[in-house]
């Protein structure tokens, strides 16, 4: 779990960021959320494109309460209004959402703001506009999105790392326990996963395996 939630700024020591995707989990959201938190997930994010805004809001309240019980930050994807309404720990926006600079004007200082990027240029721009952390990807081919952006590879992770300095960097896309070590070695502070745990027979065990690999990779890279 993350060490400090007092400031609610993005905890740079967190290695595993789990995306709870409505399309993958549907009615199992809360069940899987608790399992990944028990397995050691540092941060959970709720991502849903299909439910109504009212349903999304109600789901976020339940997930926020669960995250609080495990002392883990809870992030809302895309819906800035809902993130503000429930006082989420963080908000995550994509390239087609409200621009980072504009969102920064609305997001309270105690709420962290993350931006999805798919190139070095996008990552640098997000950093310059005030993002608290950068997500870069897809690192590897992924089936989670219908029309994924081009793969950036571990080389892309390394390039972004060089350009954004010490700003927290989360790699995403096709990451699992078999390739997470090379992603950490490339310069990512942590990784975000969805299907690697959501589609696992035992999400808690899959989460624990990933956290152990991240810890091992960090130790070897130190």
Q: Is residue 8 a part of any domain in this protein?
A: no
Q: Are 99 and 129 in contact (CB under 8 A)?
A: yes
Please state the domain count of the chain. 1
Q: Which two tokens stand for residue 69?
A: 């019980």
For residue 61, the model assigns a pLDDT of 98
What three-state secondary structure class fits 18?
strand
Judge whether residue 27 has pLDDT over 90. Answer: no
24: domain CATH number is 3.20.20.70
Mean pLDDT across the chain, nearest whole number? Answer: 93
For residue 122, the model assigns a pLDDT of 98
Report H helices in the chain. 22-25, 29-38, 53-69, 80-86, 100-106, 120-128, 153-164, 180-185, 195-198, 203-221
Judge whether residue 127 has pLDDT over 70. Answer: yes
Q: Is residue 169 a part of any domain in this protein?
A: yes
Reported as a single tens digit per residue, the pLDDT across 87-120 is 999 999 999 999 999 999 999 999 999 999 999 9
pLDDT band at 143 (very low <50, low <70, confident <90, very high): confident
Is 140 within any annotated ligand binding site?
A: no
Q: Residue 102 belongs to what domain range?
A: 16-221
pTM (two decimals): 0.94
Q: Exactly one of 116, 125, 161, 177 is catalytic; which is it?
A: 116
Q: Is residue 2 a part of any domain in this protein?
A: no
pLDDT band at 134 (very low <50, low <70, confident <90, very high): very high
69 labelled catalytic = no
Q: Is residue 66 a part of any domain in this protein?
A: yes
47 labelled catalytic = yes
Q: Is residue 160 a part of any domain in this protein?
A: yes
145 labelled catalytic = yes
Q: Is residue 4 a part of any domain in this protein?
A: no
Q: Exactly one of 47, 125, 161, 208 is catalytic; which is it?
A: 47
Is 142 within any annotated ligand binding site?
A: yes
Is 77 within any annotated ligand binding site?
A: yes
Q: Is residue 35 a part of any domain in this protein?
A: yes
What three-state secondary structure class fits 206?
helix
Q: Is residue 6 a part of any domain in this protein?
A: no
């Amino acid at each position: 779990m993350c060490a400090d939630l007092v400031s609610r700024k993005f905890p740079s020591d967190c290695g595993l960021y789990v995306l709870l995707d409505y399309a993958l989990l549907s009615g199992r959201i809360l069940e899987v959320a608790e399992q990944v938190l028990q397995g050691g997930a540092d941060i959970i994010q709720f991502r849903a494109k299909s439910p109504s805004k009212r349903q999304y809001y109600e789901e976020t309240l339940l997930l926020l309460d669960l995250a609080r019980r495990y002392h883990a930050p809870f992030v809302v994807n895309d819906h800035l209004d809902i993130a503000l309404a429930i006082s989420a720990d963080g908000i995550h926006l994509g390239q087609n959402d409200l621009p980072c600079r504009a969102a920064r004007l609305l997001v309270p200082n105690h709420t962290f703001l993350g931006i999805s990027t798919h190139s070095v240029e996008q990552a640098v721009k997000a950093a310059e506009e005030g993002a608290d952390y950068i997500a870069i990807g897809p690192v590897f081919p992924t089936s989670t999105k219908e029309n994924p952006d081009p793969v950036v590879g571990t080389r892309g992770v390394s390039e972004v790392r060089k350009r954004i300095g010490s700003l927290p960097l989360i790699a995403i896309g096709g990451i699992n326990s078999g390739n997470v070590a090379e992603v950490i070695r490339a310069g990512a502070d942590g990784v975000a996963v969805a299907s690697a745990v959501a589609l696992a027979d035992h999400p808690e065990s899959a989460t624990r395996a990933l956290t152990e690999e991240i810890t091992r990779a960090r130790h070897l890279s130190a």
